[in-house]
A and B are shown apart, each in its own frame.
Chain A
Amino acid sequence: MNLKKHWYKWVAAIFLTYVVLGGLFLPLKPGITAVTPVKLESGNNISIKLNVYNAPWLRENASAVESMPKEGEFLIPAKVILVSKGIEGRWESQKIEFSANHGQVIGLFDLKMGQSKIPNDYYSVFIELSNGKYLGLPDAIFLGRSAGDTVGLSTMTSSSNANIAVEQEKFEMKFPNRVVLNESVRNLFYHVPMWFAMLALLGIAAWYALKYLRYSNLEDDIMADALIRVGILAGILGCITGATWARVTWQSWWPAADPKLNGVAIGMTMYMAYLLLRSTMNDPYQRARITSVYSVFIFPIFIALIVIMPKLSPNSLHPGSGGTVGFNKYDLDSTMRLFFYPAVIGWIALFYWIANLRLRIAQLNEKQLNK
């Protein structure tokens, strides 16, 4: 194969192999997935149960471990800590229980507020590990004062909470464990690049459409048409994969209030109308001129609908819009970047490759018609 001519095919093959393998097999960092109970009243002998995903103290072969792992040998949980944003001080567990063969940690607490003026509030739960690092779940427990808890001293410790918040994570070749997303964070490499591919293909198509309007060369029109058709394929796949992901994380196939989804629905309809418009005309020059004008016009509208409008809206569930933070700020850590950027390039190259096949078939068809 001529490397110079087919470079994007190699890019697609190599990048996507890397992204699919890495995206599936790299492990997730440990993280707390659930806390019980979620509502507490102050008092003593309170146990809080935490489920830890990919807990660092788990053994492959638990039966071979006779005793509990010792400190220094493996990372083990040392303490469970409750911290509230507005309250200085923290509750620390007196005792914890955990096992080498499952990710459950039970923290035993003496939570007495006594005469101190501690308001009822939501608390974030942290597990302090033996190396001084933390696993956390934000605002997981609501703690209220029980009716009898009004005498004596509070058992809250007065140590500062600042070091928990600024804890820096060392770079590890593992994906971050996000609340709600968990393992599905890997879909960032498969669902999101569908939209990047669609935008790239539609963008190139708009450029070819402009080129047709300038030079009236039918080749440009056929190219634009092939790119738009494969772009729509990427968009449909983006919709279905997005619905699948939304079902397990946002609990709905199609959260209708999300402006990004509504924008996409309108935008896709505009491109469906393009297909309809094109199928109504037989004269190649007339068809090329009208659909070129149409696709040059709808591309910026499409960008406005799926990129700009959701960013302006205050209530989109998608990252990077309104109230949610963008992937570049917190969500996309360095390991994610190592796979996300190659994924975007790889998927764009693959869809461009498919568009190229579509183009060559359309060219053959054109040749036969002219005979």
Chain B
Amino acid sequence: MKTSVSEQFDANAAELLAHHNLMNAVYGVLVIIFVGILFYLVRLDRKMSRLEKNQS
């Protein structure tokens, strides 16, 4: 079987695209948002604890 370089390249590109599931980008984005918000909430929590300590 004879295949040219460009045909090989096309086949590889198609294969890549077929297996390239962009759903991971969606999960990634959601994880980043929740980790980011959680991080901020933990910081607020610490601030709150410090205030409570000062009060007593």
Contact = CB atoms under 8 A, between A and B. Distances in A.
Interface in A354-371: 354, 357-358, 361, 364-365, 368
A24 B32 CA distance: 15
Interface in A305-351: 350
A358 B41 CA distance: 9
A217 interface: no
B1 interface: no
Interface string A173-186: 00000000111101
Residue of B17, B23, B26 most packed against chain A (CB within 10 A) = B26
Interface residues of B, number: 30
B41 to A, nearest CB: 7
The secondary-structure label for the interface of chain B is: helix
Contacts of B33: 190, 194, 237, 241
A24 B26 contact: yes
A49 interface: yes
A342 B24 CA distance: 23
A233 interface: yes
Contacts of A184: 22-23, 25-26
A288 to B, nearest CB: 20
A361 B6 contact: no
B51 A364 contact: yes
Given A354-B40, A361-B47, A36 B26 contact: no
A36 B44 contact: no
Given A33-B17, A37-B7, A38-B10, A361 B26 contact: no
A51 interface: yes
Interface string B14-35: 1001101111111011101100
B48 A361 contact: yes
Contacts of B14: 34-36, 49, 51
Contact of A190 (B17, B20, B30, B47): B30
Q: Which 5 A-B pairs have the closest CB atoms?
A: A184-B22, A34-B17, A34-B14, A36-B10, A183-B23
Interface of A: 20, 23-24, 33-39, 49, 51, 181-184, 186-187, 190-191, 194, 230, 233, 236-237, 240-241, 244-245, 247-249, 350, 354, 357-358, 361, 364-365, 368
